[in-house]
């Protein structure tokens, strides 16, 4: 199953690859070179298909839990001052996605969208300390009565040139549902209440919509 954000790119890539196969088969007469080129074309197609895959995830929805919004590795767990929306101290948990991870972003909690904003910015490497505030990014805040407010931020990286965000203010959302997509490697930051119980560790690999990041 492939994400809708990749349908056009996959179709164009498939057409180009088929054309290259036909041209190579017609004009490249050296057998070993013909084989090498065919393998390269096929490998590129597989990479594109893998990047836009959208595997089914089975979220155990719980209003007291925050699930990981993306696949990747936990690279930050620290207390910070969040100044865009809360203007108070929060626990930041950041998940870094490599180009081979699933790049679907999912809602970490269910509830209602209170805030959704896109920011133009730079394309520093995703693990850069200033990436959260200076890179292209979107900020979304979701609230439910049990857990409270959770802010998550999609951040573009050196390769990611397009962030897709589906969250709209006042929209009701379900935990684990698709909330967007980041094209190529990047990261997502979560900003959680100080009294939350963090359930992950640094360098832990997490799965979007399934791994519990924190709980009340």
Q: How confident is the model at residue 54 (pLDDT cuts 50, 70, 90)?
A: confident
Residue 55, Cβ neighbours under 10 Å: how many?
A: 12
Alpha carbon distance 107, 184 (integer Å): 19
| Residues forming a β-bridge with 115 | 141
Whether residues 33 and 75 fall in one domain:
no
pLDDT recorded at residue 103:
83
pLDDT recorded at residue 187:
87
Q: How confident is the model at residue 209 (pLDDT cuts 50, 70, 90)?
A: very high
3-state secondary structure of 147: coil
Report the sign of the C-alpha dihedral through residues 96, 108, 3, 131, in that order: negative
Residues of the chain with pLDDT > 70, as a percent, come to 90
192, 109 contact by CB (below 8 A): no
110, 174 contact by CB (below 8 A): yes
Q: How confident is the model at residue 59 (pLDDT cuts 50, 70, 90)?
A: confident
3-state secondary structure of 43: helix
Whether residues 18 and 112 fall in one domain:
no
pLDDT recorded at residue 206:
97
Whether residues 108 and 208 fall in one domain:
yes
Q: Evaluate if residue 30 carries a pLDDT over 60.
A: yes
The model's pLDDT over 122-134, given as tens digits with 9 standing for 90+, comes to 656 655 566 566 6
* Matching residue, tokens 């088929």: 18
Alpha carbon distance 146, 25 (integer Å): 62
Residue 37, domain extent: 4-51
3-state secondary structure of 154: strand
Q: How confident is the model at residue 145 (pLDDT cuts 50, 70, 90)?
A: very high
Whether residues 38 and 99 fall in one domain:
no
Whether residues 165 and 188 fall in one domain:
yes
Task: Name which residue leads in pLDDT, 151 or 119.
Answer: 151
Whether residues 46 and 77 fall in one domain:
no
Question: One of 68, 116, 179, 186 is an active-site residue; which one?
Answer: 186
Whether residues 169 and 192 fall in one domain:
yes
186 is a catalytic site residue: yes
How does DSSP classify residue 211? S
Chain CA centroid to CA 176, Å: 13
Q: Evaluate if residue 194 carries a pLDDT over 90.
A: yes
Q: Which of 62, 100, 55, 82 is nearest to 199 (CA)?
A: 62
Whether residues 103 and 191 fall in one domain:
yes
Whether residues 114 and 188 fall in one domain:
yes
Question: What average pLDDT does the structure give for the chain?
Answer: 89
Please report, for the domain that includes residue 136, its CATH number.
2.70.70
pLDDT recorded at residue 3:
72
Give me the number of domains the chain comprises: 2
On whether residue 56 sits in a domain, the answer given is: no
Whether residues 21 and 93 fall in one domain:
no
pLDDT recorded at residue 127:
57
Q: How confident is the model at residue 161 (pLDDT cuts 50, 70, 90)?
A: low
Whether residues 103 and 21 fall in one domain:
no
């Amino acid at each position: 199953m492939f994400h809708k954000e990749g349908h056009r790119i996959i179709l164009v890539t498939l057409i180009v690859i088929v054309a290259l196969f036909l041209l190579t088969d017609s004009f490249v007469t050296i057998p070993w070179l013909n084989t090498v080129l065919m393998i390269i074309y096929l490998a590129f197609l597989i990479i594109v298909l893998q990047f836009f895959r959208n595997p089914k995830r089975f979220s155990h929805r719980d209003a007291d839990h925050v699930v990981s919004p993306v696949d990747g590795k936990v690279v930050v767990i620290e207390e910070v001052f969040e100044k865009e929306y809360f203007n108070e101290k929060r626990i930041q948990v950041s998940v870094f996605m490599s180009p081979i991870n699933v790049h679907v972003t999912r809602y970490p909690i269910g509830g209602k969208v209170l805030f959704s904003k896109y920011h133009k910015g730079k394309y520093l490497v995703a693990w850069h300390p200033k990436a959260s505030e200076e890179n292209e990014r979107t900020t979304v805040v979701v609230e439910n009565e049990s857990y409270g407010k959770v802010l998550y931020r999609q951040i573009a990286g050196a390769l990611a040139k397009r962030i897709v965000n589906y969250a709209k203010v006042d929209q009701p959302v379900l935990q684990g549902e698709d909330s967007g997509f980041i094209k190529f490697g990047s990261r997502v930051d979560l900003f959680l209440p100080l009294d939350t119980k963090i359930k992950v560790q640094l360098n832990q690999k997490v799965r979007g919509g399934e791994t519990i990041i924190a709980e009340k």
